[in-house]
């Protein structure tokens, strides 16, 4: 009587399949949770242009990568006014600006020396108001 070959998955094939599955799931998790800039489509505010023509930027939305220098004021109704220095793309320290964090976004612990990405809207008279805050 002739022997029939075993059909089905061998242990090596099953192990390779599980490794591939783990790599795909792990890579997807890293990409969704850590990879990419969540504000990639938001333009970065040009501070020189802001200083020269703040009124012409009114109503536009930008992102800023900043280091908090100090809290200038805080109000339960209005939020916080922060003095920050903008980080340049090469990592060096840039211009100082003031950003208003409205009360509805004022749920984070923001302290001196911490780095944040602020999505800001230029409001009337060139006031920068945060619409989203993310700690780096």
Q: Please report the pLDDT score of residue 39 as a whole number.
A: 77
Residues whose CB is less than 8 angstroms from the CB of residue 87 and which lie 6 or more positions away in sequence, other chains included? 65, 66, 67, 93, 94, 115
> Would you give the distance in Å from CA 87 to the centre of its chain?
14
pTM: 0.69
Q: Please report the pLDDT score of residue 83 as a whole number.
A: 94
Q: Please report the pLDDT score of residue 112 as a whole number.
A: 92
Cα separation, 91 vs 85, whole angstroms? 12
pLDDT tens for each residue of 76-96: 888 999 999 998 777 778 889
For the chain, which ranges sit under pLDDT 50? Answer: none
Q: Phi and psi for 117 in degrees, rounded to 5?
A: -110, 120
Q: Please report the pLDDT score of residue 118 as a whole number.
A: 93
Residues whose CB is less than 8 angstroms from the CB of residue 132 and which lie 6 or more positions away in sequence, other chains included? 39, 105, 118, 119
Is 89 buried (19+), middle (13-18) or exposed (0-12) by CB count in 10 A?
exposed
Cα separation, 129 vs 122, whole angstroms? 6
Q: Please report the pLDDT score of residue 123 as a whole number.
A: 92
């Amino acid at each position: 009587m002739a022997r029939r070959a075993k059909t089905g998955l061998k242990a090596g094939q099953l192990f390779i399949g599980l490794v591939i599955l783990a790599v795909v799931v792990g890579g997807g998790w890293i990409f969704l949770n850590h990879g990419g800039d969540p504000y990639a489509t938001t333009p970065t505010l040009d501070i020189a242009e802001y200083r020269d023509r703040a009124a012409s930027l009114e109503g536009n939305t930008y992102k800023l990568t900043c280091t908090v220098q100090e809290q200038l004021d805080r109000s339960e109704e209005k939020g916080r006014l922060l003095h920050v220095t903008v980080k340049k793309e090469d990592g060096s320290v840039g211009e100082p600006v003031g950003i208003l964090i409205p009360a509805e976004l004022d749920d984070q612990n923001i302290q001196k020396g911490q780095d944040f990405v602020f999505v800001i809207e230029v409001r009337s008279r060139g006031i920068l108001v945060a619409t989203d805050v993310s700690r780096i």
